Structure formats: C-alpha cells, structure tokens
Structure 1
Amino acid sequence: MPYVYSFDHKHRKSPMTYKDLLGGKGANLAEMTTVLELPVPPGFTVSTDACRDYMHGGWPEGLDDEIANHVFKLEKAMGRKLGDAHDPLLVSVRSGAKFSMPGMMDTVLNLGLNDESVEGLAHVTGNERFAYDSYRRFIAMYGRIVMGVPGEVFEHPLEAAKEAAGTTNDADLDADTLKGLCKTYLKAVKKHTGEPFPQRPSVQLTGAIEAVFKSWNGQRAIAYRVREKISHELGTAVNVQTMVFGNRDDMSATGVGFTRNAATGENKPYGDFLINAQGEDVVAGIRNTETLDDMKRAFPEIYKELLDIFVRLETHYEDMCDTEFTIEQGKLWMLQTRVGKRTGAAALKMAVDMTKGTKDGQGGRWKISREEAVMRVTEDHLDSVLHPQFAKKGDVLTKGLGASPGAAVGRVYFTADEAEAAWKKGEDVVLVRNETSPDDVHGMMASKGILTARGGLVSHAAVVARGWGTPAVVGADAVKISGDQFTVGDTVVKKGDWLSLDGTTGEIMLGQLEMAGSEPPAEFTTILKWADTIRKGKMAVRANADTGEDAANARELGAEGIGLCRTEHMFLAPDRLPIVRDMILANTPKQEEKALEKLREAQQADFEEILEAMDGLPVTIRLLDPPLHEFLPSVEELKVKMAKKGKLSKKEQQMLEAAEDWSEHNPMIGTRGVRLGVIKPGLYAMQVRALLDAAAKLRDAGKKPIVEIMIPLTVTREELALARSWVQEEIDEALKGMKRKPNITIGTMVETPRAAVRADEIAEVADFFSFGTNDLTQLTFGFSRDDVESRMMPAYLEQGLLKQNPFDSIDKSGVGDLVKLGAERGRKTKPDLKLGVCGEHGGDPASIELFYEAGLDYVSCSPFRVPIARLAAAQAIVGASDSQK
C-alpha cells in the first residue's frame, strides 16, 4: 500500500469513504476534485498509515521517494517548481485527522520560499510587497512550528514595525518594511536554534510534514482527543496543496463559509472573509472580518459562484457544510470542506428541517429520514439547549458577537494557565483574551465562558466553544486588555472580578448574575419524540432518583420509571441522621426497634412521594447499601475534638466507640450491601415494611404504584436467597387477605465480577438484574475511583494507557464483557429475566450502545441525562439496524 495519494487519485469507492486512510480533509479534497469537479488547488495527501508508522518506528522507509514523485507530478501539472528562482511553486502543509480537530494541530503556509525564490515571486507577480509579506509569514510560521522558536520572537518586531508605520493593520506595511522583517526573522531563527533557516524546499517539506505528525501528540491535541473521546491511535494525514493567495492584491481575498447558519440553524449561508489576506488572518481574529453580504458587493460574480457551490455541497453531502475558500486575482478556489460543527439549537433545527426537503439547485429536492435526523443530533447538542439562561439581564457593559449560546458566570482570568489553576481550586472561570489560539485549549476547557476582544463567528474561540457547548462572545472590540485587567471606556475589570456572558446575544455584563432554567426549542421535543418511537418496546429509559422532586423532574424529562432509588440518601437528611445514629448505638433490641420504627415512619413518607411522582411506572428501591460508619462522625474528627476539649460527652464517646467498631480498612468492599443486611436483618425488614405501607396507602387513594425491591451487592445465590426470604416474609404479611395482590418483584444489583460470572446461579432466585457499573468498574480494574480520577487518570489518558476514562464511558472489552456475560447467563437460567443498568454509564451514549447489544431492557441515569439517554438508545437501535444491512 502506498503512503501518498494525489487529490485526483482514482479510488475504488467514493473518496469520502476513505477517511480512515486519507483523513477527513484529504478525503473531502479528493471528493471535491474527482466527484464534484470543483476548483480545488492540486495537491496530495500523506496518509494516516504514514503517521502511525512514524509514531511507532520513526520516519517510514520509502516515504521520501513517494513525496518526491508527487512533488514532481505537482510541479509538472502547475508548470512551476518548488524553490524556483524565477517562478516558484509554493505549497501549504496541513493536518487532516479522521475526525475534525479544529486548530489542534499544525499548519505551514507558503512553503517553498527562500532568499532566491522570494525575488522570483516578486518578479512574476510584479508585487514585491506581496512576495515579502508571504516570506515573512512563512519564516515565522515555520520557525515557530517546525524549529520551536517562541512566537513572541516574531510578534514583537512585527508590532514594532506597525507602530513605527502608524498602523494596526499588517496590510499597511510596505515592501521595504517587510524585507527588513524577513532579515530580522532569519537572524532570530539562527540565534534561537543555532542553525540557519533551511533554504532547500525538500528539507522544508520534510520538516513541515514531520512537524504535523508530531503535533498529533502535542499537548493541546491530546487534551482535545481526551475530551472528545477520540482514539490516540488514529494518527493524522498531511495534505500538501498548491498555494493560492488571498493576499496578492485587492482583487484577492480569503474566507470561511457555512452553507447554513451554524449558530441558529437558519437555512441561509453565512461566513467571514477578508480582502487581501491569508486564511490565518480570518480564524485568528487579528483583523475584524466582513460578512458574505459584504462579499456580494465586492465580488458579485464570485459570490454567486460560491453560493452555487454551497448548494452543490449540501446536495452531495446532504448536510450543512463548512468551507474554506480563497479568491486569487478574481478566481475562486475551494481549499476544503467538511460537514460543519454547529450549536445544539442549530443541530436540532437543521435535523428537523432537512426531513422536510431542501432544494438541490437542479429543480429537485433532497431530504433525510427521521432516523437519519435522530442520528445527527449528539449528546452535546441536547446538553447545550438545556443550559441555564440568565433569570434577569443586568446592565450591558458592551456587546460582541454571540458565538456559542448559553449563559456563563465566572471570575475573570486572562491566561489559559491562570484559568486552569483557578478551575482546579473550584472557581467558576471566564477566560478573557484578545483572541484564543490552540495553545489556550486547556484554559478554554476549564472555563464556564469565553470572551475575546477580536475575531468573528469562525474564529478559533468561536469554533471550539461551539463544538464544546461552552458559551462564548467574540469580537467585543470595546474590550481593551492590558495586563491583569481590561477596560471598556472608563470601566475597569480586574483579574478575579465577576463577569456574566450571554453567548446567544453577545452581551457582556458586570457581576454575578442569577441563572434560570433554559427553554429548549420546539425541535428538541420533536427529535426526542422520534427517538421514543424508534426505541419503543426495545429499550426503556429510567432515572436514578432519591426524592419525590427528583422523580417528578425525571418524569418531566421523559423517564419511564426509576431504575435506582438509593434509600441511604434519605438517612442523611438532618432530621434522619440522629435517628440512624440512635439505631447504630442501640445496646438492646428494644432500643434498636424503637429507632427502626422512627426510621420506618420517615421512610414511608419518602416512598409515598416517589411512588406518587412515578404513578403507573416501575420504581426500583435499593435497600441500604453503604457501611454504617458513613452515618457516624469520623474517628479522626472525634479524636481531634477530644484532644481539644480534654474529653467527649457521653453520646460522643459512644459514637467514637461505634465509629472505631464499624471502621474498615477498605469499606468499599467491606460490610455493606447485603452483608450489612446479614448482620442487621432488621434494617432491611424495616425498609420493606415502609415501602409496602407507602404502596398500600397510594393504592387506597386510587394510584397504581409498581414496586421493584433490589438487594445490593450479592455475590452468591445463597446470599440473595436469604435476603429474598426476609423481603418475601414482609410482603406475605402485608398482603394477607388482599384479594387483588399487586405484583412486587425482587431482584439484585450485579456489581461484582463474581456476580456477573455466576449470574446463572443468582438468576434462580432473582426476578431482575440491575448492573451497577460504577462498582463493577472499580472492582474489575482494581481502581478506587475517588483516588485515581484526579491524580492517575489524566496521566493514563494522555499517555494512551487507557483509551478513555472507564468511569465516564464503559470499558467495552472488560467491564462490558462482564455485562454481556451476566446478561447471557442470567437469561439462560430465566429467559424472561428483566435486565437493566443503573450505574452512571446509563446516561453515556457509547455505553448505551453496548447495553443494547447485550440485550438489556432499560438504562437508568441521572434525571438531567434522561433526554440524552432517550436519544442515545434510539441511535443504538438505528446503528445496529444499519450495521445489519
């Protein structure tokens, strides 16, 4: 298999299906060249195979020869040569991974320029200023990205040159000034690296390609992949493409365009462009951009051509496309396209609108199915439209462009490092920058909101914030940043001050505004209804809820029952905790019985609220799970108190003795769950009585409570059989004499590897299983979640030792196999065994896909993730159906 493919290479299938090999950008460039026949500057793609081989064994053998052959073909096609002193060919070198990673990896433009070819470029174009502007850009970009020279080495002389010329715009610098900058830059490179700037184009090209390969494992790229759950093993392709110049003259321009509005979903093209500029100027936010409407006035014919291409792209990809284009002396070139990133509201609107049909530019229409519409909405899209908004707007300090919707409140920080450090201390952060760059990604990830003084709707800050659902305001040019403060007119905002941003309207307000719930758009309901239709009878969605209020909220969000009610949470309420402690400290059966009765009364009231909120839907009540020491003060806390006071009260002394008695070295795998029930069977009996009394009261009121009782942490058939006998005894007593007896089921949580492996035996005495994947993950990996997530997990993810955090998304080949094994063996014993999952993975789309494959009947998750689980369950069903076609 070759490592390098030209854009016009004839593939056996449509090039856009080769994203694994060519990367997303390379596949789409080939698609535009060979299938759509759009005006694409010629070039070639160095495949992801080459990058992977480079990562594992260094520069691949034979790659130099392949690159040289493709450069020769490119030179022949263009009638120019790289580095030619009379009429040089210049190329760009860009990354292009399978999945879009905007701004996370490196790009080099104007490659092929040197001290001789810059004069040739000046001669052939008749524009010395343009030639030296291109050369100074190349030296700075190559020096920074390939040779590791700090960016400020180039920025400071440029700013000084602009100041001396009395301008803030690069385009106003004359040829002599730019010549001087080139000389300054070349000296700076030699000073910082000890080596002269490379003059041979072949050396430049190898260095640039290798730099792009290396940037795959750069800090910002790794951080982005960890967040987006992209495999570190994919590698990136590299696209080498003939340069076309938007900064050649005033008949040239560069821009970014979307076939629809990526912020609102409106079926109207939008974008940003700049006359006499290169692409980096648009996305960096260094110059304030113009809109496509402005382009219509400046280049009316090209504007019409661009919009015709937009229609062709949408028709071909059947989706909103994001493009980069350049106009060189009145000719339009398409530099790339991809299915565009969009906000949550826009994704929902586009998905629904596209099922109604869209004009294809040829007098016909295209549309997508409802199943396809459901597949186009992501977890982040739904999450973002559920974001809170401001309860009441404050006085607007100034306004920028609303780049990513939602409200954000936080303390102001001006660098990514400061923002990350403040976030680690537990602060809410708003990152304020002139413009962001990929080097700021760690601070952006830590921020509630992002504000930039410069840049448009396709700037780095806007694109990244939209992709993450982080509220952002960009292009607020009234914001003047100086050191640790910014000013708007006479108003000064210092580091650490509170700031409120509205990413929808672009408004910036001082202080800490109050937040309110959001109102999702109508399309939110439409998409979820379609999702519910797809999954009906195949996979239900329940919620984990411990109070009547949580249960009511979950039902409002579409929950079809409760998959986990943690009864211990009720015990921790201020009015319950003293009773629980009395029960623990009881010295006689009578004292214990008295405390248990008080708890029963309190629990009955709680159960009534929950069952009423879920009337007619199943409610799974988990009996007490945590070890008893969790209800007592810590031994250390009491001993410190004793040391300070000299002695403890009688009650405190009793609690210290009990805390020492019940303390364990490893309580997570100690006396908890059913093991606690074996030692204190009265606890479980009390809870069951409270539950049955609550259900009876609601039935008397004409309600329809559906009760499922769950025994936690069983690992043997004998344990569950014993616990079931206690529960059944209480049920039989409660139902004596009742004519129409309700169906009350008894099951267990499968949360240990042994329970999964011996599920066939445990199923003999269970009506249902619920997989507790939180503990199952801890016990399978031998990880203590509280200890590893903050310290060890980031290092493991960054180094690729784990593909993802197994507590966020299920470990498919380990914990996932145990779930599948437990489901298979349980149903082998009892074919009608009901199966669900109640760990946090029940709200994770990738995990839900596995649970559907395993044949589970339902997933259960936090109430606020119920809509995401409804969507993900439908997507798992559609995905499974598609894979079988």
Structure 2
Amino acid sequence: MSGEKYVYDFSEGHKDLKELLGGKGANLAEMTRLGLPVPAGFTVTTEACRAYLATGSAPDELAGQIDSHLAALESTMGRHLGDPSDPLLVSVRSGAAFSMPGMMETVLNVGLNDASVAGLAAQAGGDERFAWDSYRRLVQMFGKTVCDVPGDDFSDALEEAKKTRGATNDLQLDAADLRALTERYKHIFAKHTGHEFPQEPQLQLRLAMEAVFRSWNAERAVLYRRQERIPADLGTAVNVVAMVFGNLGPDSGTGVAFTRDPATGAQGIYGDYLQNAQGEDVVAGIRNTVGLEELKELDHRSYDQLIEIMALLEGHYRDLCDIEFTIERGKLWMLQTRVGKRTAAAAFRIAAQLVTEGAIDLDEALLRVNGAQLAQLMFPRFDLAGEPAVLTSGIGASPGAAVGKVVFSAARATELAAAGEDVILVRRETNPEDLAGMIAAKGILTARGGKTSHAAVVARGMGRTCVCGADAVEISRDRFTVAGRTVAEGDVISIDGTSGRVYLGPVPVRPSEVVQYFEGEPVDSTLVEAVHTLMDHADERRRLAVRTNADTGADAARARRFGAEGIGLCRTEHMFLGDRKELVERLILAGADGDRKAALEALLPLQRADFVELFRAMDGRPVTVRLIDPPLHEFLPSLEELAVTVAVARERGEDHAEEAQLLDAVRRMHEQNPMLGLRGVRLGLVIPGLFAMQVRAIAQAAAQLAGEGLDPQPEIMVPLVGAVQELEMVRQECEHIVEEVISGTGVRVLIGTMIEVPRAALTAGQIAEAADFFSFGTNDLTQMGWGFSRDDVEGAFFWRYLELGIFGISPFESIDREGVGRLIRIATDEGRAVKPDLKIGVCGEHGGDPESVHFFHDVGLDYVSCSPFRVPVARLEAGRAAITRS
C-alpha cells in the first residue's frame, strides 16, 4: 500500500506496539520513553517482513525510509556508516511479537570493512585487538547468517588459531592473531560463496536485514513456532541499533539479568556477566560466565545503576523482566528487555507473589499461568532415598527429573526418540540447529553456559529438564568423560534440573508435590500455596464444569480428588476385556436365542457391579455411561489366525468342526473398515438384548445405591447416532427398563447421545427432540470430519502436513476450530434452539487440551470431560477462559 510507514525510530514506539514493532523493538522504544540508556536506533516493521516474504523483495518505500532513519541515526551519533576514520557500526537483530530465543538471526558490527577497521581501532584509543576481534565476528556472523557458510568452518579456524597460540580461549589471542584469523575467515567466506566479503556498508546492512526477514521461515524457527503454537503469518521486525561494545577490555562486558529467578521464582537479583565480551557470547555459552553479583566487585557504579533500572522495569511491566545489557568502558547500556521466560514453578510463584505485593489482581495472576505449565508441575521427581552416586553437577537451569540414554547430536536424539527411546542430549553448548533434538530429548546437559545460555532459555520455554555449565564434563564425538569415568552414547544417565546434579544410571522417581496436593495430602511449600491460590480463583471464575473420563471406581475416585465434578464418559467396552471378552464373543456370534440369553445373563451381574463401583465413587455427581461402542473386530477372534488354525487342522486330518463353524461366523461378521462398521448404536439395534442388558445393569446399580441412601445420577449415552430414528428406538427401550427397575426410588436417569458423526451435528435439531443431553465425541468427529483414521495417518503423513503448514498442530491434539469446531457450533445452536436447557458437553480427548477448553467455553458448552490427570488443567483453563471472555 502506497505511503505505508515501515520504519519507526525508537522514540516513536511503545511496548503495546509489539505486533508491529516486534517484542524487541517495542520494548526498546518503551525503555527509550522511560529515559533509560538505550543506544540510538530504529525498527523495520513486521509488515515489511510479511511483504518481503510474500513477494521475495522489499517494499518500494522501504529503502528510502531506511536511508532517512539511518541519516538521523548518523546525526545523533556524530558518525557515519562506512567512514574509514570514525565509523558508525550497527547491529541488525530480529524481533518477533513473541519471544523466540535464538531461533532467528542477528548480525553485529555491520558497517566494518578493510578500510574502517583502522578507524575503529582509533576510536578505541588505538586498541587494534578490539578492532580485529570485532571484524572477525562480523565476517563470521555475516557469513553464517546471510550467506549460509557452514559455522563449523569458522569454529574450526578459531580452534586452530587458539591451538597455534597455545591459548585456551579467544581472549588470549592478540591483535596479530585476530587479524590473521579475520583473513582466514574471509578466505572461508569466498570459498563457500564464490565472491569476496562485501566491503560496502550499505550493502552489508541491506543483506543482513533481508537475512533476518528470511530467518522467519528457517527450519528451526518454524519448528519452534510449531512447538510453542505461535502463528506462522506474523513475521519478524528488524532492529538496527548503534553498536556499543563490551569487548573493549576489562572495564567492559556484557550480561543478562533477571529481576527474579526464572527457574524458581525466588525474589532477588539473578543473571550472568562476561567481561570483555560481545553480546552473543553470553547466550551462546561459549565461555562460562560469572554470577551477576560479581559485577558489584568489578564495576560498583554500573552494578548500582543496573539494579535501579531492574527495579524500575519490573515495576513498570509488573512482571519478571529479562534484561540484556552491555558495559562499554564503564558506561551501562540497555540492549533489550522483555517479560522473561520462566519455568512452570516460577510462573505460579511469581504470579502469586505479585498478587501479594499488590502489583496485579487475581484475574491477572491467573492469566500469567496456563494449563501446560500446571501439567509440567504434576510430573514426577527423583526419589533420592537410595542415595544414588552423583556423577557430576552443573547449574540447574530448567527443573524436572529426566532419565534417558546419552546422545551427542540432535539427529541421533530425534532418531532414537522416534523409535520410542528416552534420551538425554549432551552437548558442549547448544545452538539453534539443535532445536529438533532438544524437543525430542527428555532432558539436556551442557558442559558450558549458565541460566541464560541458549540451552537454558529454550529448555525453560519448552518445559524440558536442563542442566548447564557442567564444566567438569569433557565431551568428544560419542562419549564424555568426568572424573576419570567415561560415559558412552547409549549409557543411561539421570539429570535433575533443580539441583543441577547428574547421576549415572536410572534414578527412580516419585510423585510431585503438586500431585500430592491434588490427592489431598498435606504439603507445605510455597509452590503448592501458589497453585492452591490460583486454582481456587480459577474455580470461582469458571463457568464450565469439569468432569472426567473414567471406567473404574479407582480412576473415578482419583479424578474426584483432582476436582472432577462427575464422569463425562464411561467407556463400557473397556469393561468387557480380559476374561469377559469370551462372553461378548459368544453374544455376538450366538446362533440361537438361547445362546444369546445365556451370555447376557452372565454379563448382567458383572456390569451391575461395575456401575455400583462407579456410582459410589461419584455419589451425588453425574455419571455418563456410554453404551458399548467397540469396533466389532476387537471382540472377535482374528480371522487370519482362525483360518490358519483350520487349515493346519485340515492338513493334519484333525477334528476341526468347531473351529470351522467359528470361522464361518467370523467371516460373516468380518468388516473391511471396522471403525465405520457395526458398532455403537448399530450394534445395539442389530444384536437384541445387548443395550437392554447394559441399561438394566445401570438401573439396578442406581436403585441399589439409592436404597443405601446415596445419590446416584446416571446418564445413559447412546453412541454413534446419525439419525434421530436410531436414538428414538433405543430411548424407547431404555425408558421401559428404567421405569420398571427404578420406579419409586427417586433416581432420575437422563438419556442422550454422543455427537460424533457429522450427520448428527448437521441434524442436531431433530436429534435434540429425543435427547436429554449431547456429548461431543471429538475424536471420532475429527476422524470422520477430516476423513482419515488417526491410527493410520499420524505416523504416515501428519509430519509432512505440519511441515507444510497445512496443520499448525494436529487436529487430534487441539480442536480444529474452522471445520470440526463449526460442526460443534452448529449442533449446539440447533440443539438449544429446540431445547434451550439441553445439557451439552464434550468427552473427547480435546476436553483436556488448554486451547480447546477456551473454544468450548466460547461455544457455550456446559462441561468438558478429560482423563483424571488432566482435570486440574481443564479447571485452570476454564477459569482463564472465563476471564479472557469477560
């Protein structure tokens, strides 16, 4: 669009423009507005990125706007880009609306070339080492980021230079070493690109910006967005910032600080600092940092100023702030702030702390946590009663207890995880190329880096267990050594992301304190106090009830302790497994009424006992019992095995009459596509007495408990209904049995249906005439809506659909709002148009998915039902949904 504004000076923006300026640009603008020491610069908007990605070239207006803002930046700084005697250098950094640490590109020292390197040395008081160090970094970053030169080639050249000098780190290389290394880097650049390193600063700037735009669609960025459910169409902003240098000597440095501990939520000052280093060195983990408290001894004045700024920013943002800073010869510069990533435990503790401090209210606190974090807190932890031997220790960067086989590459982690193995990814330090392996691994162990390294930040964001900075670990290609002990690939280790300890071999785990709290056990901890406070508020705010999917009394009782308000799905086919399977087989294959009656009479008391157990566990709460809904093949002998048995018996001349008769019966019942065959309501209508037996068992169980003074609340759910006539026929039979068995007991039985066939959703107005309730079976509704079998397609091609962006996330994991979700809306609206008080819930696995819970709240359902373990997650998300929609 002509006249579009694509570039904003830092003085023109603020923190609420992050969708336009990206998180980094919006926060740089906000800090500028607050009067903090921010280097001058400007932001190229996400709209420019989207236009570039759509067309392959920058918008026509962009070049002129950049020239104008660059001229203003040069005027502010009193220096010019490319001036050989007094050069202005800039950094080019990505910055999306959502934090994606390390996933996209950054190029530092843009504007430096063969001519201006001497001018940079002069700016630094004749420090040639600093100038050549800055130049070699530019060639390395530019080559890797902009021109896809293999990063290992640069790393190998650096290691060779250190080896020649006899140095253990890059600080021990002098100006001559770095000048030679820069020439080596330029040779590597030319070898891979076919041209010399660009000397024109304006060209460097343009190419670096375009590389940042392209990095939005880099493989690791796409993978990270998929993992974090970040929309793919947002694009990234680009921030062009005047360089300040932390590598000017011992009075300079760079660091990252947190206003509270991002691992535990504890109040205090946390962070890492690295003397004589440039920004990326801290998060890259290539040298081990010192704690932020040591800055107080190194530069008391800068430390005091930083502490004041941290307090100001936390008060302004009313949250944990993650801050990047540089000290240039004793002057503090703020390079970035953002609301910091944190572990699940820290999220709950910090939210509760801020309520106590009066910074936020309970509604806001509830929005600061989520169901995925709560699920993490319910994972088990190590049981150290056996006093396992500590192999080594590092920095506990992301809590959790992870046990797995050691692997040393992201590719190997992905390969073994796909084969069902639990793995621990061990690296000197991670980088963005390791993301796929980090996702696949149960935990991450690095020899370098601290709580602000790439491994730590990404692991915390994903909820992966991580131990960093285990510097006693010496890593080679397929093994690591510590204290004389060698651990090879495939050996099992256990890592504790809270204590930082690493154990050789598997360590047993025990339930988390949060699970103990939900189980009703007394637990004294600040984390449990925070969870209790926020769960109570979620329960006060939510409109959606939360039930559980449970088939046994034990599961029902546990779910009730976890806060379930009833059973939304009892799958009766699960009750017919084991030694009962033979009875169902006899029932299905019965050739005479007598055989069928005998099988039903044997099943009735077993079913009645099942329902007594369930109704007792959920006394006073509704229990929705789905009548049997098995794909028929699950209860029949294998056709192939029977055919082989008969053929072998015939070949041997053995008596096989009984097996042959059974084979004929199974062949008659055999289906090519059992999931779409004789199951659900169809099975109940075709096999006389099956549903009647189950309904009688339900009614008898309810009558028995009512006689004991309890309050059973049975709901009979007819599965797989596609036409109202099916439900009407089953309902008529159900009502007759219920009236016969429970008349006079005061028990009320509801009869409804599971909406899992698209036709049922589209004819919900008719079906509602015969139903007391609807419950959406979103698993089958998704299968039938999309036309594919979950069991067959997830491993076959879903990975490709996710890769191509056809799915942002599997529709079996989170509800497909546009397709399946529309069917749910239609059925809800049409059902309630007929019966305004129609009870409607969902009992598919989506009932425990955080994103789906918000959708079900919006649609107006009465309840969600999920597995017992996910009941607290659904309760929390139902409360959050009520706040966001209020």
- TM above 0.5, yes or no, is yes
Q: What letter corresponds to residue 82 of structure 1 in structure 2?
A: L
Structure 1 residues 28 and 658, CA, compared in 2 at 3 Å: closer, same or farther? farther
Residues 673-710 of structure 1: CA distance to partner in whole angstroms, max 9, x if unpaired? Answer: 11111101311111112222222232233322211110
* 2:796 aligned residue (767, 774, 791): 791
Cα distance in structure 2, aligned partners of 1:91 and 1:678: 75
Name the structure 2 match of 1:436.
Answer: 430
Cα distance in structure 2, aligned partners of 1:114 and 1:567: 74
Residues 230-284 of structure 1: CA distance to partner in whole angstroms, max 9, x if unpaired? Answer: 1111111111111111111111010011111111111112001101011211111
Cα distance in structure 2, aligned partners of 1:407 and 1:395: 15
Cα distance in structure 1, aligned partners of 2:810 and 2:469: 36
Q: 8 Å contact 1:774–1:840 — kept in the other structure?
A: yes
| Correspondence list, 1:673-684, <5 A | 673-684=680-691
Q: What letter corresponds to residue 76 of structure 1 in structure 2?
A: S
Q: What letter corresponds to residue 8 of structure 1 in structure 2?
A: F
Cα distance in structure 2, aligned partners of 1:82 and 1:846: 48
Q: What letter corresponds to residue 244 of structure 1 in structure 2?
A: V
* 1:381 aligned residue (351, 357, 373): 373
Cα distance in structure 1, aligned partners of 2:667 and 2:329: 83
| Pair 1:82-2:81 in alignment | yes
Name the structure 2 match of 1:100.
Answer: 99
Residues 299-353 of structure 1: CA distance to partner in whole angstroms, max 9, x if unpaired? Answer: 1111111111111111111111111110011011110111111111111111111
Name the structure 2 match of 1:558.
Answer: 563
Structure 1 residues 653 and 555, CA, compared in 2 at 3 Å: closer, same or farther? farther
Query: Unaligned 5+ residue runs, structure 1?
Result: 358-365
Q: 8 Å contact 1:715–1:752 — kept in the other structure?
A: yes
* 1:53 aligned residue (51, 66, 77): 51
Helix, strand or coil for the counterpart of 1:724?
helix
Q: What letter corresponds to residue 254 of structure 1 in structure 2?
A: T
| Pair 1:484-2:478 in alignment | yes
| Correspondence list, 1:794-873, <5 A | 794-873=799-878
* 1:587 aligned residue (587, 591, 611): 591
Name the structure 2 match of 1:160.
Answer: 160
Name the structure 2 match of 1:611.
Answer: 615
Name the structure 2 match of 1:293.
Answer: 293
Name the structure 2 match of 1:360.
Answer: none
Q: What letter corresponds to residue 530 of structure 1 in structure 2?
A: H
Helix, strand or coil for the counterpart of 1:355?
helix
| Pair 1:507-2:501 in alignment | yes
Cα distance in structure 1, aligned partners of 2:261 and 2:552: 42
Q: 8 Å contact 1:7–1:29 — kept in the other structure?
A: no
Residues 586-629 of structure 1: CA distance to partner in whole angstroms, max 9, x if unpaired? Answer: 22221122222222222222222222221211111111112221
| Pair 1:313-2:318 in alignment | no
Name the structure 1 match of 2:439.
Answer: 445
| Deviation of 1:821 (Å) | 1.3
Name the structure 2 match of 1:362.
Answer: none
Name the structure 2 match of 1:662.
Answer: 669
Structure 1 residues 633 and 525, CA, compared in 2 at 3 Å: closer, same or farther? farther
Deviates more, 1:649-658 or 1:852-861: 649-658
Query: Unaligned 5+ residue runs, structure 2?
Result: 515-526
Cα distance in structure 1, aligned partners of 2:205 and 2:646: 72
Cα distance in structure 2, aligned partners of 1:490 and 1:633: 58
Helix, strand or coil for the counterpart of 1:258?
strand
* 2:731 aligned residue (724, 728, 735): 724
Cα distance in structure 2, aligned partners of 1:271 and 1:719: 65
Q: 8 Å contact 2:149–2:193 — kept in the other structure?
A: yes
Q: What letter corresponds to residue 113 of structure 1 in structure 2?
A: L
Helix, strand or coil for the counterpart of 1:349?
helix
Structure 1 residues 205 and 730, CA, compared in 2 at 3 Å: closer, same or farther? same
Helix, strand or coil for the counterpart of 2:12?
coil
| Deviation of 1:653 (Å) | 4.3
Cα distance in structure 1, aligned partners of 2:841 and 2:493: 44
Name the structure 1 match of 2:362.
Answer: 370
Deviates more, 1:636-645 or 1:857-866: 636-645
TM-score (normalizing by structure 2): 0.95
Cα distance in structure 1, aligned partners of 2:83 and 2:677: 75
| Correspondence list, 1:403-414, <5 A | 403-414=397-408
| Pair 1:631-2:635 in alignment | yes
Cα distance in structure 2, aligned partners of 1:678 and 1:369: 56
Cα distance in structure 2, aligned partners of 1:652 and 1:326: 82
| Deviation of 1:639 (Å) | 4.1
Residues 162-207 of structure 1: CA distance to partner in whole angstroms, max 9, x if unpaired? Answer: 1222222111110000000001111111111111111111111111
Cα distance in structure 2, aligned partners of 1:489 and 1:653: 68
* 1:497 aligned residue (460, 467, 491): 491
| Pair 1:534-2:532 in alignment | no
Name the structure 2 match of 1:4.
Answer: 6
Q: 8 Å contact 2:703–2:742 — kept in the other structure?
A: no
| Pair 1:65-2:64 in alignment | yes
Helix, strand or coil for the counterpart of 1:109?
strand
Q: What letter corresponds to residue 774 of structure 1 in structure 2?
A: N
Helix, strand or coil for the counterpart of 1:153?
helix
TM-score (normalizing by structure 1): 0.95
Equivalent pairs counted in the alignment come to 864
Structure 1 residues 641 and 85, CA, compared in 2 at 3 Å: closer, same or farther? farther
Structure 1 residues 494 and 640, CA, compared in 2 at 3 Å: closer, same or farther? farther
| Deviation of 1:382 (Å) | 0.5
Q: 8 Å contact 1:584–1:658 — kept in the other structure?
A: no
Structure 1 residues 122 and 408, CA, compared in 2 at 3 Å: closer, same or farther? same
| Correspondence list, 1:258-273, <5 A | 258-273=258-273
Name the structure 2 match of 1:349.
Answer: 349
Helix, strand or coil for the counterpart of 1:576?
helix
Structure 1 residues 157 and 622, CA, compared in 2 at 3 Å: closer, same or farther? same
* 1:710 aligned residue (717, 722, 731): 717
Q: CA RMSD in A?
A: 1.6
| Deviation of 1:47 (Å) | 0.8
Deviates more, 1:78-87 or 1:787-796: 787-796
Name the structure 1 match of 2:276.
Answer: 276
